Amino acid sequence: MALPKMTRLTPIWLVAIDNAGYWSNTSSYLSQLAFLMSDVSTINAPIERTETHLSTRTQSKSAAVEAIGLSKRYGDFDALADLHLSIPSGEVFGLLGPNGAGKTTFIRTLLGFLYPTSGRVLVMGLDPAIDPVGVRKLVSYLPGDARLPREMRGSGVLRFFADMQAQGDLNRSLRVAERLELDLKRFVGFMSTGMRQKLAIAAVLGSHAPILILDEPTANLDPTVRGDVLEMVSEARDDGRTVIFSSHVLSEIEEVCDCVAFLRRGRLMLEQSLDSLKQRHRVVARIDHENRIDVPEELIDLVESIVRDGDRVTIDTSNDLAPLLGWLQSLNLQQMRVEAFGLRAVYDSIHRASDDAGETLE
């Protein structure tokens, strides 16, 4: 099979927008291209597009991605440790955790870039360790450090990726770029960091792949563009696509995700539905030292924790606040403040519990 002419594409440092694959010279083009893009035959052959749009979110919630006892070990270090995780189809699923938590290892394992030490991961029923080509046809991936060929114009980059991806769509990528107000006539080498991020987003979101993996997609973007990107993520979900969304910005996770998983040191610490999280509240108030706080038996399941510190008390609820209002009034609390629990409180509680167990933050 003849390769396409490379005169305008030399040098290409990162064809798959993957921060782990660098192009040292064009002699390595074929082998790395086959590994990262997985389907070199699509370069010259007609591409059969598979429409994955679904008109409603009432589709089956079968798992798009499922990790079963997934572990990845490097010597004595567990990058992933017995991970059991199910990501439903047609949802935006958030991944949270500090640096080194295992998020990137998980993503690269489900893409087939890494092989698990034990366990397995399935992507729409396919095992990437057995059929990485099939898996990568289903996924459009934006890594946290997207690198693009600097000697190409923005329009050429989008055309290249649309031709390379099994479900790429140039017109769709161009619409995303226009929505992000990106100048596609400019060479990548003369683009700002934010412009290059926009270009990578247009290349990834332009695909019709049923699964999107977005690692820090709003990094280096101004607030207005961040809002546009989050809106497009929600639109992808409404089209029936599955989005794996990794971010350190908790407010973005709260805004766009349906469910979130907290990882720490390769382990799943908590999986939380955002709908249920929004029902939780934290009550902070002053209380007389003499006053006791006894939770009625019928309300025990609604109170997650009570922490007293001198004359201050913090009460975390686990569900709807309304049934607790009468009991809270009976406590004669003063200077009471009620706030949504939020991901920040959950995130901090996970790390506090880990620190109490003898761990330290990175």
302 with 235, same domain? no
Give domain status of residue 2, yes or no.
no
The closest alpha carbon to 13, from 205, 176, 155, 188, belongs to 188
Q: Mark which of 251, 275, 299 sits at the end of a domain.
A: 275
pLDDT of 16 > 70? The answer is no
pLDDT of 136 > 80? The answer is yes
Q: Mark which of 230, 257, 275 sits at the end of a domain.
A: 275
Mean pLDDT of 232-259: 93
Stronger pLDDT, 12 or 116, i.e. the higher one = 116
Q: Which of 17-21, 43-47, 245-249 has the highest mean pLDDT?
A: 245-249
Stronger pLDDT, 58 or 288, i.e. the higher one = 288
Give pLDDT, residue 49. 36
Give domain status of residue 362, yes or no.
no
The closest alpha carbon to 95, from 256, 304, 296, 295, belongs to 256
DSSP state of 4: P
Give pLDDT tens digits for 84-99.
999 999 999 999 988 8
Q: Are 319 and 302 in contact (CB under 8 A)?
A: yes
Give pLDDT tens digits for 20-73.
333 333 333 333 343 334 333 333 333 333 333 333 333 335 899 999 999 999
174 with 74, same domain? yes
90 with 133, same domain? yes
pLDDT of 242 > 80? The answer is yes
Give pLDDT, residue 355. 55
Give domain status of residue 302, yes or no.
yes
Give pLDDT, residue 38. 39
Give domain status of residue 312, yes or no.
yes
Q: How many domains does the chain have?
A: 2
Give the structural domain span for 315: 281-340
Helix (H) or strand (E) run with residue 339 in it: strand 334-340
Give pLDDT tens digits for 209-226.
999 999 999 999 999 999
Give pLDDT, residue 1. 41
Q: Mark which of 259, 275, 291 sits at the end of a domain.
A: 275
Q: Are 113 and 21 in contact (CB under 8 A)?
A: no
pLDDT of 359 > 70? The answer is no
Give domain status of residue 319, yes or no.
yes
Give domain status of residue 26, yes or no.
no
Give pLDDT tens digits for 294-314.
899 899 888 988 989 888 999
146 with 211, same domain? yes
160 with 289, same domain? no
Decide the pairing of beta strands 92-96 and 259-264.
parallel
pLDDT of 251 > 50? The answer is yes
pLDDT of 11 > 80? The answer is no
219 with 324, same domain? no
Mean pLDDT is lowest, of 51-65, 239-253, 256-270, for 51-65
Cα–Cα distance, 23 to 135 (Å, whole number): 23
219 with 314, same domain? no
Give pLDDT, residue 21. 34
Sheet with 63-74, edge to edge strand ranges: 77-88, 63-74, 118-123
Give pLDDT, residue 46. 36
- Average pLDDT taken over every residue of the chain: 81
Give domain status of residue 98, yes or no.
yes
CATH label of the domain that carries residue 210: 3.40.50.300
266 with 292, same domain? no
Amino acid at 164: M
pLDDT of 2 > 70? The answer is no
Amino acid at 239: D
pLDDT of 18 > 70? The answer is no
239 with 335, same domain? no
Quickly state the pLDDT bin for 248 (edges 50, 70, 90): confident
Alpha helices in 72-117 (DSSP H): 103-110
Give pLDDT, residue 348. 77
Give domain status of residue 23, yes or no.
no
Give pLDDT, residue 281. 85
193 with 297, same domain? no
Residues 6+ apart with CB under 8 A from 324: 299, 302, 303, 317
Stronger pLDDT, 101 or 3, i.e. the higher one = 101
**C-alpha atoms less than 13 angstroms from C-alpha of 218 in its C-beta half-sphere:** 22
83 with 197, same domain? yes
316 with 236, same domain? no
pLDDT > 70: percent of the chain: 80
Give pLDDT, residue 10. 29
Mean pLDDT of 133-146: 92
Q: Are 102 and 249 in contact (CB under 8 A)?
A: no
Cα–Cα distance, 269 to 288 (Å, whole number): 36
